[in-house]
Structure 1
């Protein structure tokens, strides 16, 4: 196997096909033109806010009650995103507030401008809003439902559309929400959106701070947390979950309820390139059955639930690195030397609301180039892990500025 060529091919091909429908970007470009024309014709704040509320209500009603076709979802999301971006521009962020990104001790902090596009991850947003709706209904007998949403970004897309729906339908006044983000621009834009949607009465806190410094003076009833990229990498999801879990009890709800990562052996060319040749996006329903057949399941790497997060076994390596112990897997005896180690993530948000592999940017499979199964690389790297059939691998989750999985021989 020539790992370098395979890695280069994977990077070039996966950059072309993602879970986000390219039509959404095209529609956004057109909406910018439309909004420019609207601004020149001086649309009033009242008209702009009304269009935003109507669009959010229509989208959320469909998410909760209907099973739309993909094309219908694209149209709904495109329209709502257009109005969200109109609110975003009203916040009048500086260039620094919009474009600054950082690597901090818990991982990547995305720029606010980039974060505005995550709303278009249709099946991720659908699953979380449905899950949040069910979780809130699960707590309907409580006097107050405290919801915390860290790393919420400028739109808080996994909750704010639902809160606007609840407000417009006047169906729940028990909700108190804490929204936290480290980016000043995100909080500034979100404050504008809260004002535009008229949902201020539901907001308990709107805090610009490091989530690791957040200490609520109440029990968290529902925690909505999604701060990761594919393979639970790069961002601070597990840092935040471990910190906030101390403020949750057995009857608290973590959304997502469960994240499972499984290791597979697969052929990168077919997995990341060939099976998508005739597609303009990825989705679990569009997978090629032949490609599925090439995969060999190696084993479960980790399962994350609220209980597992609280009970996790950890290894400390100095002050800056902590490892969370995952599971042990065995390299199959019939694996050959032409397959790469791939990690597949599936997410259960709540009850039956799931995000399967390829449905979202956060469930795209991730290639582990350092694990060389039954071959010696022609261009060795310092972190190569040479393993053969029958060997055991334990996965650790690395908690540092570049979070992700670290496989070691067991």
Structure 2
């Protein structure tokens, strides 16, 4: 198949080459749409890319009301443009799709990570918080150093902001210097292409392929921006990365998010995950059903992750190299007639900075995660070693497993 050419007669992309275009060949529709987009010149593509990043950021930073539809449309446009830079980075199929479990958690493939840039309310909560943190820092420092580990192929919490800052001249590269770190070679290849296309090189002091839990920065960090989470605070290495890198913050340095609160709740699955959303056009913390919320049995906070708690963490080393952290205890309430019909769900509330937040159901990372291995006031037909059986009134100590696939382990007190 012949490649489409730009105004200078040279190929503007590799979309039509199935050996290179492994990113887009998964869908005929996506491939055809990309072929249509590739008819623009290189200069036009760069302009559209930069505009999409600025437009999306302008909407989320705006204090005027912006509709959900407007946000979704802007973020989809930004994604469509970013994906073209990813295709131009010419990742092989293996590099694009490589996903594995490291000693500290799941390492997602660049292919799977690319969708994060479409997670509207995750990025909104982080970007508005980061913007306010930068405003506060710049008042007292001429230049601030920002570290963004496990940033993925698009670094979605910072690159849109930097594009906006450059376009509006709000902050210069002399005021902000950003370090981007990721363990995936494909993420780093894409980042280099995207930063080049966005013409943000002057803001980026480092793009490095390295395990974030081993990385040692050569400058003090003013802002540590981190989002490597899965819902229920499981699977990914957010805590291990934060625990390692918090030591490199300057004395007055801040971590974004400032606090992640993980809570437990006993729910009726049909009410919580089905009936609650039947009349909602999209899930969001502002659309929670009063009936469903009243039906919940909140158990309280299981774990709180912030700069102070990270510096106080005590790790227990068990056999076979397994590391755990003792966190909070909860007590299952008594007198709940339908407790045997309920299951434990764990959810996160993320406070990014200055009252900006990502609430439950705002994003996949804050969506309550059911733990179907825990039984309260009932027993499975056949008890296996993975099951945890408790009764109303029992007090349970939770531990957070750091190694393998991170997650919570309950133990009866």
Q: Give the alignment's TM-score, normalised by structure 2.
A: 0.89
* Comparing 288-297 and 106-115, the one that deviates more: 288-297
Residues 207-235 of structure 1: CA distance to partner in whole angstroms, max 9, x if unpaired?
00111221011111101101010011101
The corresponding residue for 1:56 is 53
Q: Distance in 1 between matches of 2:133 and 2:54?
A: 19
Matched position secondary structure for 2:264 = strand
* Comparing 353-362 and 269-278, the one that deviates more: 269-278
Matches within 5 A, 1:16-55: 32-39=31-38, 41=39, 43-55=40-52
Matches within 5 A, 1:2-401: 32-39=31-38, 41=39, 43-66=40-63, 67-140=65-138, 141-173=140-172, 174-279=175-280, 281-318=282-319, 320-335=321-336, 336-401=339-404
- Could you tell me how far 1:394 is from its partner in structure 2? 1.1
- Could you tell me how far 1:279 is from its partner in structure 2? 4.2
The corresponding residue for 1:5 is none
Q: Distance in 1 between matches of 2:191 and 2:233?
A: 25
Q: Distance in 2 between matches of 1:245 and 1:64?
A: 27
Q: Which has the higher contact order (CA 8 A, sep 6+)?
A: 1
- Could you tell me how far 1:144 is from its partner in structure 2? 2.0
CA contact (8 A) 1:236 1:403 kept: yes
Matched length: 381
- Could you tell me how far 1:274 is from its partner in structure 2? 2.8
Matched position secondary structure for 1:179 = strand
- Could you tell me how far 1:30 is from its partner in structure 2? 6.2
Aligned Cα root-mean-square deviation (Å): 1.6
Q: Which ranges of structure 1 fall in alignment gaps of 5 or more residues?
A: 1-27
Residues 52-85 of structure 1: CA distance to partner in whole angstroms, max 9, x if unpaired?
1111111111111243111111111111111111
Q: Distance in 2 between matches of 1:247 and 1:37?
A: 47
CA contact (8 A) 1:227 1:237 kept: yes
- Could you tell me how far 1:250 is from its partner in structure 2? 3.8
CA contact (8 A) 2:233 2:347 kept: no
Q: Which ranges of structure 2 fall in alignment gaps of 5 or more residues?
A: 1-26
Which structure has greater helix proportion?
1
Q: Give the alignment's TM-score, normalised by structure 1.
A: 0.89
Matched position secondary structure for 2:327 = strand
